[in-house]
């Protein structure tokens, strides 16, 4: 059998080389060469002579169920209602966050499906030890395959196609046609392409576990995120028990949904009411603490935000955040100084989102600004009040979306007041007995939130 030839192509200018080089001689770019297979003209002609025909949209059959429920409610929520047949899902996350644990629990829950668990990092005995720790080592529907050669894996799948495939991890797979090592750009790209082709041809859902770089992005070429149907990010701090499953890309559902899990000795447990969990350790009568109502997809979540303001010991004051955008904090501080007259130039500002959660929604601006002023004045905020609102550069409190869901969540957890943008009052039909305070300016909101 003749060896498949390959070439190296610069991703910046398209220059071709028979071997890998560090610096492109054409555009002088470093580390831009990627190995690609050399496709022969005869192979292209064979494809054009096939009997493949396009299918009219109205003739596509959707009578059979196209989703498989995993029985893990939080996981199905993020996927958009279940596992889509023939889909490819890429799961990324920091080392030790629980990616393999989540996939093993998923395999154990799919009792009526044959799951092929392909591992390039662990042996079958090591996987068995992890299954014993999670208390489902007797699952008969899970088939283990410790292999990294894509030709062998494709042969096993062709010989006995499973219902679902889990690959741990995609960076350990290698294609014999390429000389580059495992984890290289060419190997990751071609391995992902082969798994994608298997998923589409055989209608088998495939889950690919991916490593992340120290910057927090999935390792490998960016093109693999475009090749797959769904990209999930498993987030969480090592020192916190809670994990967040977030959808970054989803062709079959919303990209705003999140799933909340708690890491225990026996594995991951679903958190059905995140608001209650995140507020469980809140201390009454403490300055610098506020409750905000954030919306992730279709789910409203109440979260505690904390601020600590102390006189600086350095020439340049510190601005530190945990779970919140650093640049957004700088914007809020500038608005408070310019529009409210609160001068923070001689103070260090520390902002923390309690529980290890990361919040990027502008609707939490009002709560963070209130917690900063509360800590600076050492005056507690109203214990039974939730703050909702985006702060503009001129100090106005701007409207937010899905305000009624936020109000209902606050009422369900026993809060008696919600401070919100005045223009949002007309969009609320049901108040559930909770008092609504509409504000137009940030200074009015601060006055309503601070205890008298």
What pLDDT was estimated at residue 240? 74
452 pLDDT tier (thresholds 50, 70, 90):
very low
240 lies in the same domain as 119: yes
Angle between helix 442-449 and helix 365-377 axes, rounded to 10 deg: 60
Please, which residues have CB within 8 angstroms of residue 263's CB and are 6 or more apart in sequence? 98, 101, 236, 241, 242, 243
Categorize the per-residue pLDDT at 214 as very low, low, confident or very high, splitting at 50, 70 and 90.
low
Instruction: Give yes or no for a contact between 170 and 153, defined as CB atoms under 8 angstroms apart.
Output: no
HEC string of 130-199 equals HHHHCCCCCCCCEEEEECCEHHHHHHHHHHCCCCEEEEECHHHCECCCCCCCCCCHHHHHHHHHHHHHHH
Q: Report pLDDT digits (tens) over 99-117.
A: 999 999 999 999 899 999 9
Which residues have C-beta within 8 Å of that of residue 441, sequence separation ≥ 6?
339, 395, 396, 397
CB 278 within 8 A of CB 354: yes
275-317 confidence digits (pLDDT tens): 988 888 888 788 999 999 999 877 899 999 999 999 998 889 9
- Tell me: do 261 and 351 sit in the same domain: no
Q: Mark whether 309 and 245 lie in a shared domain.
A: no
Query: For tokens 């999670």, what's the residue?
Result: 134
Q: Quick one: 230 and 89 in the same domain?
A: yes
* Assigned domain for 60 exists: no
325 plus 195 within the same structural domain: no
Rounded CA separation 350/340 (Å): 19
Q: What is the mean pLDDT of residues 151-169?
A: 95
Tell me if 382 is assigned to some domain: yes
Residues 439 and 303 in one domain: yes
pLDDT band at 199 (very low <50, low <70, confident <90, very high): very high
Name the β-bridge partners of 76.
none
d(CA 57, CA 54): 9
pLDDT at 445: 93
Single residue among 213, 247, 272 that ends a domain in this structure: 272
Domain of 40 in residue numbering reads as: 6-45
Task: Tell me the backbone φ, ψ of residue 65, rounded to 5 degrees.
Answer: -70, 125
Asked if residue 367 has pLDDT above 60, the reply is: yes
Closest CA to 75 of 275, 241, 253: 253
Q: Does the structure show a pLDDT above 60 at 63? A: no
146, pLDDT greater than 60: yes
With respect to residue 31, please indicate whether it lies within any of the assigned structural domains.
yes
Same structural domain, 281 and 423? yes
Dig out the tokens for 174 from the structure: 């290698």
Tokens 């559902």, residue located: 253
Which CATH number characterizes residue 439's domain? 3.30.230.10
168: number of CA atoms within 13 Å, CB side? 24
Mean pLDDT, rounded, for 38-44:
50
Kindly state whether residue 233 falls inside one of the protein's structural domains.
yes
The residue out of 272, 288, 309 marking a domain boundary is: 272
Residue 61 lies in a domain: no
Q: What is the CATH number of the domain that holds 263?
A: 3.40.50.300
User: What distance in Å separates the CA atoms of residue 243 and residue 86, rounded to the nearest whole number?
Assistant: 27
pLDDT higher than threshold 50 for residue 395: yes
* 157 vs 188, residue with greater confidence: 157
Q: Same domain, yes or no, for 317 and 372?
A: yes
Q: What is the mean pLDDT of the chain?
A: 88
Whether residue 114 sits in one domain with residue 38: no
Q: Secondary structure of 90-128 in the HEC alphabet?
A: EEEECCCCCHHHHHHHHHHHCCCCCEEEEECCCCHHHHH
> For the segment 401-413, what is each residue's pLDDT rounded down to a tens digit?
999 999 999 999 9
* DSSP assignment of 211-249: -B-TTSSBSS-THHHHHSSEEEEEE--TTSSEEEEEEEE
pLDDT band at 41 (very low <50, low <70, confident <90, very high): very low
331 and 365 part of one domain: yes
**What is the Cα–Cα distance from 263 to 279, expressed in whole angstroms?**
18
CB 443 within 8 A of CB 339: yes
One domain, residues 295 and 245: no
Max avg pLDDT among 217-226, 316-325, 352-361, 420-429? 316-325
Section 130-135 average pLDDT: 87
Quick check: is 308 in a domain?
yes
Nearest to 291 by CA among 356, 357, 370, 348: 370
- Per-residue confidence (pLDDT) for residue 235, from 0 to 100: 86
Domain count of the fold of the chain? 3
Domain membership of residue 420 (yes or no) is yes
pTM of structure:
0.79
User: Is position 87 within any domain?
Assistant: yes
Residues 319 and 431 in one domain: yes
């Amino acid at each position: 059998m003749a060896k498949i030839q390959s070439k190296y192509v610069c991703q910046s200018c398209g220059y071709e080389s028979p071997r890998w080089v560090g610096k492109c001689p054409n555009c002088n770019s470093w580390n831009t060469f990627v190995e690609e297979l050399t496709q022969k003209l005869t192979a292209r002609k064979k494809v054009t002579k096939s009997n493949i025909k396009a299918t009219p949209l109205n003739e596509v059959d959707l009578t059979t169920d196209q989703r498989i429920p995993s029985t893990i409610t939080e996981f199905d929520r993020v996927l958009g209602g279940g596992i889509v047949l023939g889909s490819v899902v890429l799961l990324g996350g920091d080392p030790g966050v629980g990616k393999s644990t989540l996939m093993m629990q998923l395999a154990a829950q799919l009792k009526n499906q044959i799951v092929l668990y392909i591992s390039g990092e662990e042996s079958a005995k090591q996987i068995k030890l992890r299954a014993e720790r999670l208390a489902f080592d007797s699952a008969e529907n899970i088939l283990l395959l410790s292999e990294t050669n894509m030709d062998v894996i494709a042969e096993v799948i062709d010989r006995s196609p499973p219902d679902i495939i889990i690959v741990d991890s995609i960076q350990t797979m290698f294609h014999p046609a390429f000389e580059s090592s495992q984890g290289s750009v060419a190997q990751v790209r071609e391995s992902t392409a082969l798994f994608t082709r298997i998923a589409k041809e055989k209608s088998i859902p495939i889950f690919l576990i991916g490593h992340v770089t120290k910057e927090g992005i999935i390792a490998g070429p960016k093109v693999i995120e475009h090749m797959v149907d769904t990209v999930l990010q498993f987030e969480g701090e090592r020192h916190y028990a809670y994990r967040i499953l977030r959808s970054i890309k989803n062709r079959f559902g919303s990209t705003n949904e999140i799933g909340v899990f708690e890491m225990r000795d026996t594995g991951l447990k679903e958190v059905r009411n995140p608001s209650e969990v995140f507020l469980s350790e809140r201390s009454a009568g403490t300055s610098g603490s506020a409750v905000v109502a954030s919306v992730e997809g279709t789910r409203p979540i109440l979260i505690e935000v904390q601020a600590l303001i102390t006189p600086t010991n350095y020439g340049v004051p510190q601005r530190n955040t945990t779970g919140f955008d650093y640049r957004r904090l700088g914007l809020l501080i500038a608005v408070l100084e310019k529009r409210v007259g609160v001068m923070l130039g001689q103070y260090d500002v520390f902002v923390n989102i309690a529980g290890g959660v990361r919040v990027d929604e502008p609707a939490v601006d009002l709560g963070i600004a209130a917690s900063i002023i509360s800590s600076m004045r050492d005056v507690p905020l109203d214990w039974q009040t939730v703050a909702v609102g985006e702060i503009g550069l001129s100090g106005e409190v701007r409207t937010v979306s899905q305000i009624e869901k936020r109000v209902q969540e606050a009422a369900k957890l026993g809060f008696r007041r919600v401070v919100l943008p005045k223009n949002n009052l007309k969009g609320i039909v049901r108040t559930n007995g909770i008092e609504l305070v509409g504000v137009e300016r940030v200074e009015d909101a601060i006055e309503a939130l601070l205890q008298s």
